[in-house]
Amino acid sequence: MAACTVSTAVVSNARLATKEHGAASSSSCRSVVSFGAQPASLWKTFGVSKTQGKGVVMMAKKEINESLLTPRFYTTDFEEMEQLFNQDINKNLNQAEFDALLQEFKTDYNQTHFVRNAEFKEAASKIQGPMRQIFVEFLERSCTAEFSGFLLYKELGRRLKKTNPVVAEIFTLMSRDEARHAGFLNKGLSDFGLALDLGFLTKARKYTFFKPKFIFYATYLSEKIGYWRYISIYRHLKENPEFQCYPIFKYFENWCQDENRHGDFFSALMKAQPQFLNDWKAKLWSRFFCLSVYITMYLNDTQRNDFYQGIGLDTKKFDMHVIIETNRTTARIFPAVPDVESPEFQRKLDRMVEYNQALIKIGESDAPGALKNLQKIPIIAQFAAEVLAMFLMKPVESGSLDFVDFEPQVVY
């Protein structure tokens, strides 16, 4: 799953589509597997240092607030997933296409790609001051997002093994990719004297429940937007090597093809479930998830201007490039997408940034909690009105159920 994991929490955490699923399971959701037993409002990052000679690991604990914009962990109704991929029930399954995709994943083009060298630690030692903390946050968020994908794909691979072994194996191989990405990012954190305790994250994070069709929409978008983020950063730094301050970006060219293959797989999954693509509800949900992903990324990135400036990018121009390219790619499969190329689209995004910054400023003030809540109400209302107005913009009708036979492709 991409570094920009889907957060459908634009307003009130998109509770139209989700619910928080913690440790307790009622009789009405026995078919839902929860990975974590202890939901927590905070997740922890552990700084690691070793005592000379004894090799004793000393853990320095740091807590980071979990907000609506932080990467999320997902769970779903696995019994419904099993029904969707049961060949006796679903006659739309194109096993030939899944077989072709499986061979792509088995080839494992990046098996030997994620090999570190001495350049990593040397580059990290040169990153000092505020930029150092910015890089740490980038690695933390990216690692968390990739690890989230690993957990979801691993469980889907396990649960679908009997129902559809081919689809199950693809999910397992995608979890391999995500684990590899997360491990590589976590190793990068060690260059800065830190490491994520991924076992703690597994147990302590809240898991957001998505119905299977929402998993398809959200994860497809997450993978495709991840592709465009990675390849765009790679191309920029290749053309402007003076901003290549840390070697992890040199790996993005091959890395992004994992994201692209994952997205292609979810495209095939949706083609096998035409009810998710061919009616008016599908059009509404497609637009909703597109906007959720685009708005979340834009708000996240504009809070981190220093990071993008540090690698020579204009944050808003970069984000709009990624949004437009992702939207064009998504239009090949989704029945409707937002008109992101309308000038009004970015104007609305920029107004949301202003409202978000105002909310952050109130939150950081010394005013009493009750007063803060009152101050936030009109701003939240303005933000919600802007989101609604964006949703009501005339969409671009897109997508098709008349697909050509699958051919693995590199899209850049």
Do 346 and 368 fall into the same domain?
yes
Q: CB within 8 A of 401, min separation 6: which ones?
A: 271, 274, 277, 278
- Residue 7, domain member (yes or no): no
pLDDT at 56: 30
Which residues, given as ranges, of the chain have pLDDT below 70?
A: 1-71, 400-412
Do 152 and 263 fall into the same domain?
yes
Q: Where are the beta strands (DSSP E) in 330-394?
A: 336-337
Hey, what amino acid is at 130? P
Q: Output the pTM of the full model.
A: 0.82
Do 145 and 284 fall into the same domain?
no
- Residue 49, domain member (yes or no): no
Hey, what amino acid is at 206? K
Do 145 and 293 fall into the same domain?
no
Do 254 and 269 fall into the same domain?
yes
Do 342 and 256 fall into the same domain?
no
Nearest to 361 by CA among 378, 350, 341, 375: 375
pLDDT at 119: 95
Parent domain of 366? 279-396
Q: Enter the tokens of residue 187.
A: 């190793």
pLDDT at 400: 60
Do 91 and 172 fall into the same domain?
yes
Instruction: Note the helical H segments in 71-113.
Output: 78-84, 95-107
CA distance 35 to 23: 8
Do 287 and 325 fall into the same domain?
yes
What angle in degrees, to the nearest 10, is found between the helix axes of 212-239 and 280-302?
40
Do 270 and 322 fall into the same domain?
no
CB atoms within 10 A of CB 24: 9
Do 293 and 156 fall into the same domain?
no
Do 93 and 239 fall into the same domain?
yes
Instruction: Quote the distance between the C-alpha of residue 26 and its chain's center.
Output: 29
pLDDT at 314: 97
Look at residues 276, 306, 334 and tell me which one is the last residue of a structural domain: 276
SS3 61: strand
Hey, what amino acid is at 159? R
Radius of gyration of the chain (CA): 21
- Residue 10, domain member (yes or no): no
Tokens 């597997």, located at residue: 33
